[in-house]
Structure 1
Amino acid sequence: MKYVLLICDDETASPTNEELAADPAHRAWLADLERRGGALVGARLRPVVDATTVRVREGETLVSDGPFAETKDFVGGLVMVECAHLDEAIEIAAGHPYARWGGIEIRPVWE
């Protein structure tokens, strides 16, 4: 089954791409994911200040800068994995370094 892991953080201590690539905890997580052979796609997202939100109301397209959600936690990246079951997806999510201060939301993919 395919799952998307939404990597959520509050962006107060967001490392650079270089720092993230050099982080031993993040490298270990990537190595575990590679060992499992379940990684399908992954991407780190730009900060929420670069976001644009589009809504259509009564036929009018409304565009606003930034995220629409009023929360401090935002999706900063995503990873799609293929796992035998939800418990394996939970193991993978629990191993992600951001799970220690942010959160990892797991969503099954419609097949």
Structure 2
Amino acid sequence: MKYMLLIYETEANYAGEAGEKLLADIIAQHMKLGAELAASGIDWSGSELAPTFTAATVGGNGVVHDGPFAETHEQLGGYYMVDVPDREAAIAWARKIPLSPGGKVEVRPTGGHG
């Protein structure tokens, strides 16, 4: 079954010189996780997302708003899509995702289509 592992973090964690160092470390950890997923034979994909200021949200009435719709402290910063046997396997992989302080990973099935 396919699961989205949605990575939520505070973009401000990556600001400034300390943030750039943290980002470089987190990216290196993501590269290792990608290699581990590939070595395990799991069908997966993933990507970081551009900062929220580049986002647009289209409402049900067709009106476009700049930025993400949700007013939250954390921003959706990237994702992994994994095809694993069950929820427990998806959660096990989610626990391995590197995060900045306060980050979280939402584990959600895709509905089984595709």
TM-score by length of 2: 0.79
Runs (4+) of structure 1 moved beyond 4 Å? none
Q: Which residue of 2 aligns with 1:103?
A: 104
Structure 2 unaligned residues grouped into runs of 5+: none
Alignment partner of 1:41 is 2:45: yes
Alignment partner of 1:4 is 2:9: no
Equivalent residues in 2 for 1:15-26 (5 A)? 19=24, 23=28, 25-26=29-30
Q: Distance in 1 between matches of 2:86 and 2:100?
A: 20
TM-score by length of 1: 0.81
| Residues matched between the structures, number | 106
Structure 1 residues 13, 100: CA separation in 2 closer, same or farther (over 3 Å shift)?
closer
After alignment, is 83-92 or 97-106 more displaced?
97-106
Tell me the CA shift for residue 21 of structure 1: 7.6
Tell me the CA shift for residue 13 of structure 1: 2.1
Q: Which residue of 2 aligns with 1:83?
A: 84
- Relative to its length, the structure with more strand (as a share) is 1
Q: Distance in 2 between matches of 1:22 and 1:56?
A: 35
1:26 is paired with a residue whose SS is helix
Percent sequence identity is: 35
